[in-house]
Amino acid sequence: MTADRGGPQGDPGRLVRPFAIGVDGAPANSGLDLLTRVVARRPPGDHDHLRPERESLLRLAAQPQSVAELAALVGLPLSVAKLLIADMIEGRDLALCTSASAVPGDDVLHMLLEGLRAL
């Protein structure tokens, strides 16, 4: 018996190692942290199918998402996701969320604190 290694008929999983994902020239220190929220500036296009991680990020970021959420949903290490997201921001595919609605207000934080105290 031989082990099934995926292949064309099976589910191959990730075919490309995270370090091999193409990043066109994002700055090494992008300034993104775990809670930075980004949103897609456009829907995935026909040419995005050649870069599945970018296509997934565009689809998932249709609504504002944090960098940590996107990394987890796409299944990339945080360091790789941050570089990829920074590159997509530089390429104007993603935008930083700076609206006040993206940051929880004091009342939400107080309710969260009260809920935690109730535990």
**Residue 94 pairs with which residues in a beta bridge?**
40
pLDDT tens digit sequence for 55-73: 899 999 999 999 999 999 9
Tokens 């970018």 locate to 54
* 15 close to 44: Cβ distance less than 8 angstroms: no
Q: Which residues contact 78 (CB under 8 A, 6 or more apart)?
A: 34, 67, 68, 71
Considering only CA atoms, which of 56, 62, 100 is closest in space to residue 75?
56
> Domain map of the chain by residue range?
28-118
- In angstroms, the Cα distances linking 20 to 23, 96, 97, 104 are 9, 25, 28, 36
* Whole-structure pTM value: 0.62
pLDDT tens digit sequence for 78-115: 988 998 999 889 989 999 987 555 556 678 788 888 98
**Second CATH level (architecture) for the domain 28-118:** Orthogonal Bundle (1.10)
